[in-house]
Structure 1
Amino acid sequence: MTRVLDRKAMLAIGASVLMSLMGIPRFVFPLPVLVLALRRHCRRENRIMVIVTVAVALMVDVFKVREVFFVHGGAGIAGMEVLISMIPGVAAIIWVMTAGRRMFVRFSGSCIFGVLSLMFFSLWLTGTSDGAGATREIMVEAVRQGLHAMSATLSPGASSVQDLLPAGFSVEMMVQAAGLVFMALLVPMVMLWVGFIVFLAENIARGKNPEWTAQVARWRLPQWFVWIFLVGFAVVLGSRFVTMPVAVLVAGGNTLMAACVLYMVQGFAILVFQVSARIPGTGVQGLFIRCGLLCLFPLVNAVVMLGLPLVGILETWIEFRKTNKEFENENHS
């Protein structure tokens, strides 16, 4: 047991639990233990370390929101709080436990819990139960108070919150519309969330490793995957001309955007392949940081947000990664 929870493991667990108590860092709280697990090659110890971290973070989370459970409608709010910790935590556990599997399998498995849990929570929230209705009222009131504070800051002359909204548009309608958009983008949001955590951890752990660069550069989707993208695109495009059920529109939006996220990853893999072939020694870490920085600048970020998925899709018909002797001859043992 002392070998499992050595000094480095204890520090990583402490850092992760501390991050789970903060605002934005709680969304990526498994990062410290995940990085340490990826640098070690002891599967049993890594699994125990990550599971202990997630368990402690969840217990702390439940303790924080214990009083909210007793408020009418508070169970839904408390559930949202716990899910914020559970989704990245479970993703980290699955990522560590599936070490050695194909990257696509590991990534899909890491996203499944987040997608299903948020989907069931969204369906419950739109239901007719007393708890769901009370939770919706709390959320509407929170949005109303936020808009009131915004109106006092941006529009001192506004007499009410309604003055900030378009004519005939209420706060309840705005929350309902936001919920619909959330459900239509649920899958890609989870994919981006989980993908950011695991990819950042992999980059920190072995970003300068030539084997990692070669692994990323070779990653590609199967040719038939383009049909999934085209089906989602057809549904979203068709909804502009034909009235479709909400369920079909939500499924189409999730399919299209999830495919775009994966094609963005493929586009990044093509970028890594091409740059590594022309500039030997270039690592994934440097390119990942540069792409991240480009996303911070308006207009310029379109190169990353639109360019990478487009390149990834085009590789279905155009071969951007011809045989590269550097990757062929490299020893990955």
Structure 2
Amino acid sequence: MSSTAVVFPGMGPSTFADVGKFMIVNPFAKARLAEASEAVGYDVLTAFSRSEHVYTEVAQVAFVVNSIAVSDWAREHLGLNPLLCAGPSNGLRAATAFSGALSFADTVRLTADLAAWEREYFDRAENADIVTHSFVRTPGDALAEMLAELDERGEWAEISSYLEDGFFNVSLREHNLDWFKQSIRDAGGYSMYTMRPPAHSSLFEPQREHAAREIYPKYTFADPDLPLVADHDGALVTTGEGVRELHLAGIVQPVRWDSVVGTLRQHGVERVCVTGSDNLFRRLRSTKSFEVVAVDPDRALKHRKSLVQR
């Protein structure tokens, strides 16, 4: 896989029902679970099985565990040896561990620290009604009109992710969500899901400042073993300090997937290995311009079954 890039997708809705079997039976997952449980000081598998929300602290930790576990599986069974690594949105956490910029244990601890602060920050009254809404098949000019109308009404909203033509994530106040969904329908678009907590907005500068001051100084980032592609501008990140800054930028900068794709093409990537639970990035038209290898818990489980049958 010499012309391959590995992409750790951002975290979509994922529950124990979706991935629990993989975590219980896959040897790579079991090994990573043991490391993660030691890192955070509780049994990740048990806590995740009892979690009632898809973005809790333990759900975010479990997402990192599974992303790295399937990358371990892909290295052994598929010969995964990429040129570049990308981790859009909170896929950056797994990408950081995979690249060697941070140990797996520290990545798990960082994920837990960020999730705890995120929960505190968005429980505050002034932030509690902010959500990020994901939608497709909506022309950019129609979205611009929606945002302009909100602005005229004195209402805040911002694009959090530019995924491809017609596919966006927008952060806004929840009391405007029903109107926004109707406007999407009126424009011929389709609403997918709403994320709580929200992500990627300049409004979250206080969250970035706190993370830079109170959370990230506890972790030492090494120069990555392979370059990371920044998800907001496509720049190649090759230093530990650069990886740290990439994490902080992700709090306030929107994801621009086209920038990542452009960098991959520029460096001769022909194949993209999307590694982790994903129903989004491997389906984007720009991603499918590469040969796409989907490596997720289901594939690893099916491979195990085929070995048993032989």
TM-score with structure 1 length normalisation?
A: 0.26
Highest relative contact order (Cα 8 Å, sep 6+), 1 or 2?
2
What is the TM-score normalised by the length of structure 2?
A: 0.27
Considering only CA atoms, is the larger Rg found in Structure 1 or Structure 2? 1
